Amino acid sequence: MPRRHPRFLSVLLVPGLLGTLAAHGAAPSVQARASVAHSAAPSVQAGASAAATVVRSAERAVQDDSLPTVMRRWEAILASDSTDPAATLGLATIARQTYDFGRAQRLLAGLLDHRAGATDQWTVQARLGLYRVANSRGEMRAADSLLQGAMRDARRLGDRAAEIAGLIGFTNTRSGDPRALYGTLDSVLPLLPPGDSRDRAEYLCRRGLYAGVRGDATGSSLVRQGIAMAERTRERQLTGHCLEAEGLLESFRNHNDSALATMDRALSLLRATHEHAGIARLESRRSDILQAYGRLGEAKVALGQVLAHATISGNRQRLANAYGGMGMLALRVGDLRTAADQFARAAALNDSLGLVEARLIAQQNVGEVRAAMGDLAGARDAFQRVLDQAGQVDIFEPVVLMRQALARVAIRRRDWAEAERQLDGADSSARARGFDDMRGPIQYDRGRLALARGDAKGAVRLLTEFFRRTSPDDQLIRYTVRTRLAQAWAESGELDRAERELTEAGAALETWRASLGADELRQYAFAATTLGEYDPQGATAAVIAALARGGRATAAFTLAESRRARALADRLTQAEALRETSATVAPHRDRPATAAAIAGGLPDGRTAVAEFVAGTEGAPTTLFLVTRAGVTARLLASADSLAEPTERYAALLEAGEDAGALARSLGAAVVAPMAAALPDSVDHLIVVPDGPLHRLAFDALRLPDGRAALERWTISLAPSGAVATVLLTRPPSPRAAPAALLALGDPVFANEGSAAAARDGEVFRGAYAAAGGLPRLAASGIEARDVARFAPTAEVRLRAEASEAWLKHTPVDRFRVIHLATHALVDEGSIARTSLALAPGAGEDGFLSPADLAALRLGADLVVLSACRTAGGVTVVGEGVQGLTTPLLEAGARSVVATQWRIGDRSTVRLVHDLYAGLARGAPVADALREAKLTAMRRGAPPGEWAGFTVVGDPLVRVPLRLPPWWIQGRWIAAGLALLLAGGWLVWRRRRAGARSVARAGG
């Protein structure tokens, strides 16, 4: 997405920048300096009314922390005379300044009622006060109507100070056309008294800001004059707002370091004067710049401040800013579902406020999300609408930005002429306004266009020149440019330069990633985008493929691994370092993720790692095969061509349909190259998938000889080669056999018993929000009792005992096996909507989130997630699937058995029993699961019932379980299944009888 997009948000809402001058803190435009509360204040300005003096006194009391004294004085007056206009107006102003808008409105409305039919200074200030309340809340239509009444009275009285306040107010409520704003400000100038004044300072800052927005070079000078005047008149809050204007203009010119420093000065003044709405707006602007810099952790903190201060001030427009900023942050890291949700919340608030400019922003956000999702036609339409409307109101920066956005869409559509035309238009607009700094990103886009057209040398020249002009602090931008530059070198045949460029870029990004602070942001580091890029891995994948093609498989693999599951690897290596007790054993964090290190971590010659790097933008997918002998590489089809058939293949398997044709075609594309390259002695594959291959059920794919891949290899999954190595080389558990086992099943759910989620008599172990509740999983209780019989020490918790509260607050590190048979809700668009469903109670809602799982202290060799889609989740570039398995590995589990799609409540019981039987016979977890699947295949079960189960983590874990007596196994399974079938038969009979009764009644 465009780096300058956040600044466009500021441009379109420029009137909001100084709008709170009339709504908070500096509300009246011309006020007396003297007040009943501040005897040492400057003298009253000529022409200011007594009512304006009262308003100013109240404002100064709030800003200067002398509020109790002033309030007591006015409260005493009002107690003796409930109609006193000065006390009423003063207390109403204090209520407004302290965001007690309800009381402010009641007092001001009462003042107007008491003076019904009168037009005087008190009614003018009362209407101005009501306008400021509406403006503070972002209610611009109501604010404009109130201003019209105040202006009518002010002109009738000849109250020039109030007239100035009204005119400046109109620049807030009628902000759709900058040319009209100039006209309004022109009408203010003749009314201003000579010399230094608060009003003149505000006028200069506001006029300078509008001038800067239109590309007028005098804008910064006018704002600086306003700052100096505000400082001379000792107006701290006004000085803060003027400094904010200066910071915004500096950011327009890409002087972001000075912009942030200026905004920090402004923040200190606004905090000192309790200007919460202004703080919210300013923190929003800071977040925009910080996001552009790639300082995502700081940007997230700033957005938290926006939300907090917008809530305190009751300002819905600032709340919309907060949601919009959070949407942009999510968009930058590829979390499209969250981005769309946050943008929708912002748009709904802005629509309720009737903000035309904000609707324009919302339209651009729609375009950005559509572009990120690959809906190029929709993105082009949205960007074109913004461009047309921005041109109509003469706001030049969005004209530049939208032309860049349209050029990027054209590049992706391979419409070179259109891309060139749009970039020429963007460059011409920026140059005409004297904003040469805006032309830098345009040059980057020209480099991208040259690269897309096959002009690699031209791309090198353009990208190198742009890189030299970027600030060292723009770390995310520099990383993005260097990856594209590495791609250009690779396509020029300069593989040495390409490898060096990508290596150095990765090292710089690692330094930046470490600075992000928040764990959840660090895990998105390799997914972060800027400069209009929507695919954070496209260039990297192309370079890795070029290196592999050029015979540099070892270097290419190291580059691939350096960008894989770093957040999880960091947490695992930290945990390993804490476990290290021998000084002779080097901590894992000192072992680089090279091909040699990973090959050395393999247990034997029978095991291999198959790691994919999904190629996009037409680049091939690279397959690395690591064995004890080293690493080799194969180039496969682009992931662009694999995404749709992979999705269709999973859908057919889940639905129980015939997927044979796709199993053969995908098998030829993905697993046949493995079979051809690996020796027959390799029978264990640890697959590190990427891109759409995260959704691929490898077991059911067909080899050229017609066998399923399951019949050739034992296949497991890992987030990266490095993570697999950490888990494979972890010392075995020192605890003695046999293993202690914990099994939770058949939990009590809220609104339990809904049958709406059942299909063909089978209830699936997924969460069905639309069903009005979660159907009971009776067979999961049978399953939990069954697996407990494989351990001499077991704890089985069913129904209300299978609760979230118990699991979260009970030490469970003594269990070597944990089995969770329940519903799961897994959202592949947002990790916030992913959870395991357990019984609620004791203050818990019953939904165990990924964060809750990560917080568990586990000592488990194996965790079995017997629920729907538990191997799924949000796919984060560089980190893999972020759902339920990763946090369990982080919490200490060595291996997790999970599912890739829906699993039935009854059909799962037998496969799980066979899995545990294999474990009890001494088989490693992956071999035990493979044998259970082969057994299901032999008895004719469709792939949808077995192919979705997979092992994530260490596939070679052995768990010391024991086989229960044969007669117990057979008897209880038969009894349990018979009970379930009998219950289903009774339900069917009752429904059939009911249907017959209805038919007879109808006949």
10-residue averages of pLDDT along the chain (1003 residues): 37 37 32 28 50 86 80 89 90 88 91 84 90 80 85 88 82 65 80 86 89 81 94 91 92 83 94 88 89 76 90 85 87 79 87 71 85 90 88 71 92 94 90 72 92 94 91 80 93 94 84 61 56 78 94 92 66 55 40 78 92 89 93 93 90 86 94 94 92 89 94 92 84 67 87 48 49 71 89 89 88 90 74 78 81 86 85 58 78 88 70 91 94 92 88 90 70 50 48 42 34
Instruction: Give the integer Cα–Cα distance in Å for 49 and 715.
Output: 83
pTM over 0.95: no
Residue-level pLDDT at 35: 30
Other C-beta atoms within 10 Å of 698: how many? Answer: 24
Is 93:167 a contact under the CB 8 Å cutoff? no
Output DSSP code: residue 451. H
Is 170:144 a contact under the CB 8 Å cutoff? yes
Other C-beta atoms within 10 Å of 18: how many? Answer: 25
Instruction: Give the integer Cα–Cα distance in Å for 902 and 712.
Output: 25
Residue-level pLDDT at 583: 38
Instruction: Give the integer Cα–Cα distance in Å for 621 and 187.
Output: 64
Question: In the chain, what's the furthest Cα-to-Cα distance?
Answer: 103
Closest residue by Cα to residue 302 from 323, 279, 283: 283
Instruction: Give the integer Cα–Cα distance in Å for 975 and 846.
Output: 30
CA distances from 523 to 13, 467, 611, 982 (A): 33, 26, 20, 49
Amino acid residing at 154: A
CA angle 293, 297, 301 (to 5 degrees): 110
Other C-beta atoms within 10 Å of 480: how many? Answer: 26
Residue-level pLDDT at 828: 67
Dihedral of CA atoms 122, 128, 129, 133 in degrees, nearest 10, equals 160
Beta carbons within 8 Å of 39's beta carbon, 6+ residues apart: none
> What tokens appear for 287 in the block?
């977040």
Beta carbons within 8 Å of 1001's beta carbon, 6+ residues apart: none
Closest residue by Cα to residue 611 from 539, 650, 562: 562
3-state secondary structure of 882: strand
Q: How many CA atoms lie within 13 A of 700 on its CB side?
A: 30
Instruction: Give the integer Cα–Cα distance in Å for 89 and 79.
Output: 14
Beta carbons within 8 Å of 899's beta carbon, 6+ residues apart: 865, 866, 867, 868, 869, 870, 871, 948, 949, 950
State the pairing for strand pair 817-821/823-825. unpaired
